[in-house]
A = this chain, B = another copy of it.
Amino acid sequence: MQTPWDYRYAQRTQRMKASAIRELLKLTEQKDVISFAGGLPAPDVFPVEEFKRACLYVLDNNGAQALQYGSTDGYVPLREMIARYTNRLGIGVSIDNIMITSGSQQALDLLGKIFINRGDRVLVENPTYLGAIQAWNAYGAEYIPVALDDDGMDTRVLEDALRKGPKFIYVLPNFQNPTGATLSLERRLQLIELADQYGVPIIEDDPYGQLRFEGEHLPAVELLDSQMREKNNAYTGNVIYLSTFSKILAPGIRLAWVIAPTEVINKLVLAKQGADLHTSTFNQIIAHEVGQHGYLDRHVKLIQDTYRERRNVMFEALEEQMPDGVNWTHPHGGLFLWVTLPEILNTGEMFKEAVAQKVAYVPGENFFACGGGTNTMRLNFSCSKPEMINEGIARLGQVVKSKLIHR
């Protein structure tokens, strides 16, 4: 049925497309499908008991505040907790540099809202996080994709991309979504130097940095950048840093944060006032109650142990089940790994067959801002228990093998 609204959509609405992934995920919701498609944290390590304790405590002691409107920038004790957490990593921030957002997706949206004019270019890894593309398409962004390998964004080709005049660089340095790649220390330094040379600022999206279960933690791009600038007495604040409670507590509470120069935070606060007034006071106070007194650190260890085991199971299963010519990344943390099949295979076309065989993944081409990657796929290892991973990869191996035979 037609309504007068049909003729009234804004220009930008034409650019909003249904996320292919969300459509795919619907197919994988049948109970007997083993899905490596979602980006879900493991629900079996959600701190349910801690949440119960916190809910009771907060409602008993602070119910009127928890259920009332709050300030747009966020609950002060939570921002103080984040400031402490961040300063431990060496980045010096105060609560005036921190705004709470309703998930990192909102941070991406608000950054798009305050920075992107129609036609502005954003330099992104290729492939990159789909949610950023989705948020920024609404503001008319164009993309400059830069190749990425096991060491993250390939800084050897970065200079060419910077010459194309991006408004900013968007980088996921740790256990990148979708590939699991981590930007090496050397490349972090090159990225910072080149960005400085061309005067282009950086958005560092770091949802998984705490989820390293192998190897040494690498300093944040923001930290390296501010160290370099202090040494050179240059302006600071070149890097805006995003992180989230979704992967270290629970995504269902929709809590994340932005760290930025105060001036940028002020603009973000204005944009957020118009977008949702503020993030749930209740969830902010609960998260603070759960996360304080070192609980976050202890809980992150449990997550690391769980994910390490599941990744290892997936590595072994892939080794065992995949035919020659199939390669995958070896992430030291995070939720995902990235599989590259022989070029003659198309993971988009193969998807239906995989679901028929009761296993699912995300076809890699969804993550390329300007096309490509038709022979790649993203696998999530965090959300399935070991026996399911073994069974699922066995099914996936069969699908790949049968495809190779039939060509």
Contacts and interface: CB of A to CB of B under 8 A. Distances in A.
Given A52-B55, A254-B278, A273 B69 contact: no
A280 B280 contact: yes
A51 interface: yes
B273 A254 contact: no
Contact of A51 (B5, B63, B276): B63
A134 interface: yes
Interface string A283-296: 10000000000000
A274 B138 contact: yes
A102 B281 CA distance: 12
Interface range on chain A (Cβ under 8 Å from partner): 35 or more
A4 B235 contact: yes
A385 interface: no
A275 B106 contact: yes
Interface string A260-285: 11011001001101111111111100
A341 B196 CA distance: 57
A90 interface: no
Interface stretch (A16-24, A152-160, A364-372): A16-24
A273 B67 contact: no
B59 A199 contact: no
Contact of A274 (B55, B109, B253): B109
Copies of the polypeptide in the assembly: 2
A102 B252 contact: no
Q: Closest 7 A-B residue pairs measured CB to CB?
A: A67-B250, A3-B237, A55-B55, A43-B64, A252-B281, A48-B63, A16-B270
30 contacts: A2-B235, A3-B201, A3-B235, A3-B237, A3-B263, A4-B201, A5-B240, A5-B263, A8-B167, A8-B168, A10-B115, A10-B116, A13-B115, A16-B271, A17-B270, A22-B72, A41-B68, A43-B68, A44-B64, A46-B67, A46-B68, A51-B67, A67-B251, A69-B246, A102-B254, A105-B273, A134-B273, A253-B280, A254-B276, A280-B283
Interface of A: 1-6, 8-13, 16-19, 22, 38-41, 43-44, 46, 48, 51-52, 55-56, 59-60, 63-70, 72, 102-103, 105-106, 109, 113-117, 120, 131, 134-135, 137-139, 167-168, 199-201, 235-238, 240, 246, 250-254, 260-261, 263-264, 267, 270-271, 273-283
Given A9-B267, A66-B252, 20 more contacts: A3-B201, A3-B261, A3-B263, A3-B264, A4-B238, A5-B115, A5-B240, A8-B201, A10-B114, A10-B139, A12-B114, A16-B267, A16-B270, A40-B68, A43-B68, A46-B67, A69-B251, A103-B276, A109-B274, A283-B283
